[in-house]
A and B are shown apart, each in its own frame.
Chain A
Amino acid sequence: MRKISAEKIKETIESIILEVAFNLPEDVCAALESAHKKEASKLGKSILKDLVDNIKVAKDEKLPLCQDTGFVVIFMEIGQEVQIEGDLHKAINEAVAKAYQEGYLRKSIVSDPIQRKNSGDNTPAIVYTEIVPGDKIKIKLLTKGGGAENCSAIRMFNPTVGAEEIEKFVIETVKNAGPNACPPIIVGIGIGGTFDKAAQIAKKSLFRKIGTHNSKPHIAKMEESLLGKINKTGIGPGGLGGKITALAVNTETFPCHIASLPVAVNIECHSHRHKEVTI
């Protein structure tokens, strides 16, 4: 048994939040820089220039990359040989409250979806825990903005439809998102499982490095085909026209029922603030 204190988890989460609020992951920076070079449309290019410049200002001045500093979503893979000392969920939410206060980040969470009073400290976080072999804890953290999240969609398909129908749905979702999701976007797709599982793996797929593909060749092929088609929609950076609408299409799959074929599309904006840490 390896003991890990809740305090240690708290410190780790706090430092991840304070890093991602001001620093985009390297692969996202590189993708935006290369998009800026490639984009031909005048307005599209000027949007991408703003995004590249924004990365530097955010980092140098410790100003959040985006004013929407998001909902904290955590995927935690906990080794079954780990014993957590202390209250895990309390530690996570204390970390969120502290980081959002100390980092001068925006508190964007309301405690009740109908009454809509702000919780005041950006808690609670959304936490998915998974028990895995080993004696480590892997924390994958994403701060998810509302604009892009609102453009997501899920559909329960007939199991007899083919890849083509699924692609159509993904493209329709991207078109509906249009400028609202702050393109260039990252498209997370979950195929299979149940209604909830599809949405969960769609979100989890967002952690993949830009430029990598699903290990299954037929899924990798679908990702490439979709990225090509999405970039032909002409939506472009900021939705103002151009050829760079998405930076990546990430897909995860899960086995499913003979009667089902759920497909979830989770839209993520270019302000793709996330990080993975193992303790």
Chain B
Amino acid sequence: MKKITAPLTDKDMQGLHAGDQIVISGILYTARDAAHKKMAELIKGKKPLPFNAKGSIIFYAGPTPARPGKPIGAIGPTTAKRMDSFAPQLYAKGVKATLGKGARSKEVKAAIKKYRAAYFVATGGAAALLAKKVKTAKVIAYPELGTEAIYQIEVKDFPAIVAIDSKGGDIFNEKL
């Protein structure tokens, strides 16, 4: 089990290979469909993103509301391919990894290779278990989107699998 901590560096990426089981600590930013649409508008308007993209990990997720006293409700990956059309421009801005479920497009894979980044998958539908790895959470952008807002979450030993590595190795291509 490899351990990595976000923000990620080029050196971190070199050690990751498709199929590796990893645990992630540090900061993740959640974003799903609606937030991606907004971020794409920011990029188009040459405006800064709501978070520092350099070395960051975007988690494709929309949590359930937190119960009082808890950092977050249930949280787990959503289908990554819905974000395929947005991902290359975010990798270009410095995002080092995205975290979701399911396979990615050729274009996303090419961007991952180009920017020496990665795509991770987490277990879909294990959101109670994964929530236990979240230490803190706060909304940093688009609160009006509810669950689709961008949350900055701090995780400790969040389990994932490297699905696409910086050299273009792809676990789904190998399996399917």
Contacts and interface: CB of A to CB of B under 8 A. Distances in A.
A112 interface: no
Interface in B79-107: 79, 81, 101-103
Contacts of A104: 64-67, 73
A67 B101 contact: no
Contacts of A57: 128-129, 131-132
Given A63-B74, A64-B128, A47 B123 contact: yes
Interface in B20-69: 21, 34, 61-67
A234 B73 contact: no
Interface string A211-241: 0000000000000000000000011101111
Most buried by A among B64, B76, B81: B64
A66 B129 CA distance: 9
A50 B126 contact: yes
Interface residues of A, number: 44
Nearest to A182: B124
Contacts of B123: 47, 50-51, 54, 238
Interface in B116-152: 121, 123-129, 131-132, 145-148
A53 B67 CA distance: 21
B112 to A, nearest CB: 17
A57 B134 CA distance: 14
B126 to A, nearest CB: 4
Interface residues of B, number: 40
B171 A240 contact: yes
Most central of A61, A179, A270 by chain B CB within 10 Å: A179
B64 A106 contact: yes
If over half of A's interface residues share one DSSP class (helix, strand or loop), that class is named, otherwise mixed; here it is loop
B111 interface: no
A36 to B, nearest CB: 12
A62 B172 CA distance: 33
Given A239-B175, A240-B161, A51 B125 contact: yes
Contacts of B126: 50-51, 53-54, 66
A4 interface: no
Contact of B74 (A66, A147, A150): A66
Nearest to A65: B128
Contacts of B127: 54, 63-68
B172 to A, nearest CB: 7
B142 to A, nearest CB: 12
Nearest to B33: A116
B166 interface: no
Contacts of A241: 175
A180 B171 contact: no
15 contacts: A53-B129, A66-B76, A66-B126, A106-B62, A106-B64, A108-B147, A175-B176, A180-B81, A182-B101, A234-B176, A235-B175, A239-B102, A239-B172, A239-B176, A271-B125
- 4 closest A-B pairs by CB: A182-B124, A63-B128, A58-B128, A64-B74
Interface of B: 19, 21, 34, 61-67, 73-76, 78-79, 81, 101-103, 121, 123-129, 131-132, 145-148, 159, 161, 171-172, 175-176
Given A67-B75, A120-B146, A180-B102, 20 more contacts: A57-B128, A57-B132, A62-B67, A63-B131, A65-B128, A67-B74, A68-B78, A104-B73, A116-B34, A118-B146, A147-B101, A179-B121, A180-B101, A234-B176, A235-B175, A236-B175, A238-B101, A239-B176, A240-B171, A241-B175
